[in-house]
Amino acid sequence: MIAERVVLACLCALFGFMAFIAFGYSLSDALGPGAGFFPFWLSLMGVLLSVALLVQSWRGRAIAGRPQALLPRGEGARRGAALVASLVFVALLLQPLGFRLTMLVFSVGLLLALGVRRPVTIASFALVSSFGLFHVFYHWLQVPLPIGLLGI
Amino acid sequence: MLGTLIGVLPGLGPAAGTAILIPLTFKLDPTGAIIMLSAIYYGAMYGGTITSVLINVPGEAASVITCIDGHQMAKQGRAGTALGIAAIGSFVGGIVATIALVLVAPPLAKIALSFGPPEFFALMLFGLCLVSGLAGRSMLAALLMTVLGLLLAMIGIDPVRGAPRFAFDIPDLYDGIGFIAVVMGLFGISEILLAAEAPAGEVVRTKLSKLLPSREEWRRSVGAIWRGTGIGFALGLIPGIGAIVPTFMAYIVEKRVSKTPERFGHGAIEGVASPESANNAYANAAMIPFLTLGIPSSPTIAVLMGAFIINGITPGPFLFQERPDLVWTVIASFFTGNVILLVLNLPLVGLWAKLLDLPFQYLCVGVLLFCVVGAYSLQQSIFDVWVMIAFGLIGYVFRKIELPLAPLVLGLILGPAIEKSMRTSLEMSAGDYSIFFTRPLCLGLLIASAVVLAGAALKLAPKALKET
């Protein structure tokens, strides 16, 4: 329930902020509604709806049928953290390192973090998912993927 | 094949699956790309059944009800028959709905051609109200998600005046938030994050040699398949109803009409045949409001709509006039796709079942790789990869507290069109709002929208009072 209230409060703040920004755009002009009209009223609706849901939550009625903890614990938390960290790694290094090298490191690192301990399997999978996938997308399907500073 | 693969792999639904496979269509012409993505869509709808039957885990939400009797059949050593009747039911449902699509779509598109901006605004509002009124157990939460989706669609250049909104001088935001990156995050990344928390179900080991039902099972299934098809088709015409409702309704109806309802829940073949037929009939019927009116009925169809737009095609009534070659080729592909689905899937059931042995670690890395490729390659933008990661985390949090994602996605895809039609309407009337109330069809749709929301509120109110 606390997690739900935190999320709803964040949404309320976001809608409030968007309403404030939208108010700065013209709400109407000579031709009718302006650029700010739609976002302003939508943001206000968002504020009202999140407040209504917050009130409901405080009165004991959760949105979720079976409220659960927002963050996992133990092994689940470790796996989740590894997934997010690996994605951030990809986003940071995809362009400087290029697709092949980034995905090679990503695959090896994530498989190790998720508990795989077979070196040959990890190496084969990582090669296929980096160099193999690059070949399929870049050469066969002509999907542009980044080539890094090292030319890989 | 790819659609079924997506449906089979646990932790990857049809919306995310269709989205992450968009890059595979880049080399194809628009018609080929749309055909491929449509095939992935209904392939995924069937693929979800395999996991429902074999590991009691639905590959996608519409297969939830199939778990009940399908998994019981598998435990009794009848997994092959369950998967066989599901494939046959899906085939019948898909073919019948496609024939109806051919008959219904052109006249409906013709009627829609007479719509002006106020009617389109009211129609899209009606679609969003249906989605909000029918999604999840809290209408307020669904409305909140719709509003959030609509607001996210406002980011970027104003479609009418050309002024930037919510861009904060970030050049990447001038083009708005990439729809595909958002969908991949909300459905793909969040599903993998959730799957990483929970251990996978146990695969039922059973012989899959006997795929065709016995004479007695045929007798029980024929009526169930037709009833399921009828229910799926009828409900597929209503935008926003979602694939879960037709399958549940088909199951309930089947149990009601059965002379031996006590068999349901213990491996009744009708409990698989009817929902599966309804599922595929729904998937094909949902193409009618999409192709004729430009209203996506589900997140997966919203992804398809995104693919149409990427290829420079706008779904709606003009599609039948301006691109009959494309639209009829796509519809023809539904027939061949359904035939191929049956021909390929029956003999390949064993192969699909083997995929369930794939360890989660490899599946996880593979899915994330495709998500990154999909998000990046659309505009060769690393910003889209960040958007995908951010929406992956947002989707994870929203799913945890059961904020429905479908209204958000539909709001995001319909946002620009709904805003544009509303503002064009008001420009037509020089700012006079009565334009929405003086045109009969527009007024009718607005009243219908209010009725849908009021109906949903009245339905949920007693439950809410009881809980507080």
DSSP B22: G
With respect to residue A32, please indicate whether it lies within any of the assigned structural domains: yes
With respect to residue B467, please indicate whether it lies within any of the assigned structural domains: no
B87-114 confidence digits (pLDDT tens): 899 899 999 999 999 998 888 888 888 8
Q: Please give the structure tokens belonging to residue B38.
A: 């449509």
B341-371 confidence digits (pLDDT tens): 888 777 787 777 777 677 888 888 988 998 8
CA B178 to chain centre: 19
Write the ipTM: 0.95
B123-176 confidence digits (pLDDT tens): 888 888 877 776 666 888 989 999 999 999 999 998 777 889 999 989 999 989
With respect to residue B213, please indicate whether it lies within any of the assigned structural domains: yes
At A60 the pLDDT is 80
Q: Do A70 and B23 touch (CB under 8 A)?
A: no
At B136 the pLDDT is 61
At A90 the pLDDT is 96
Q: Domain limits at B453?
A: 2-459
Q: Please give the structure tokens belonging to residue B152.
A: 């996210």
At B277 the pLDDT is 93
| pLDDT score of B204 more than 80 | no
Tell me the chain B residues in contact with residue A110 when contact means C-beta distances shorter than 8 Å: 361, 364-365, 368
- Distance between CA atoms of B9 and B60, rounded to whole angstroms? 10
With respect to residue A123, please indicate whether it lies within any of the assigned structural domains: yes
With respect to residue A111, please indicate whether it lies within any of the assigned structural domains: yes
- The SS3 call for residue A33 is strand
Q: Do A90 and B377 touch (CB under 8 A)?
A: no
Residue ranges of chain A with per-residue pLDDT less than 70? 65-67
With respect to residue A91, please indicate whether it lies within any of the assigned structural domains: yes
With respect to residue B465, please indicate whether it lies within any of the assigned structural domains: no
B246-265 confidence digits (pLDDT tens): 888 899 889 888 888 889 88
- Distance between CA atoms of A20 and A36, rounded to whole angstroms? 10
Q: Do A84 and B397 touch (CB under 8 A)?
A: no
Tell me the chain B residues in contact with residue A7 when contact means C-beta distances shorter than 8 Å: 397-398, 401, 403
In this structure, how many other beta carbons lie within 10 angstroms of the beta carbon of residue B358? 14
Q: Do B166 and A111 touch (CB under 8 A)?
A: no
| pLDDT score of B45 more than 80 | no
Whether residues A34 and A86 share a domain: the answer is no
More confident of the two residues B83 and B208: B83
Whether residues A136 and A83 share a domain: the answer is yes
Count of alpha carbons within 13 angstroms of residue A97, beta-carbon side: 15
With respect to residue B466, please indicate whether it lies within any of the assigned structural domains: no
Q: Please give the structure tokens belonging to residue B232.
A: 């799926």
Q: How many domains does chain B have?
A: 1
Q: Do B196 and A133 touch (CB under 8 A)?
A: no
Pairing state between β A32-33 and A28-29: antiparallel
Whether residues A88 and A135 share a domain: the answer is yes
This prediction's pTM? 0.85
Whether residues A79 and A133 share a domain: the answer is yes
With respect to residue A87, please indicate whether it lies within any of the assigned structural domains: yes
With respect to residue B203, please indicate whether it lies within any of the assigned structural domains: yes
A36-40, B61-65, B67-71, B459-463, range with the lowest pLDDT: B459-463
At B432 the pLDDT is 86
Comparing alpha-carbon positions, the chain A residue that sits nearest to B163 is A35
Q: Domain limits at A41?
A: 2-58
| pLDDT score of B37 more than 90 | no
Q: What distance in Å separates residue B462's CA from the closest CA in chain A? A: 13
With respect to residue B250, please indicate whether it lies within any of the assigned structural domains: yes
With respect to residue A80, please indicate whether it lies within any of the assigned structural domains: yes
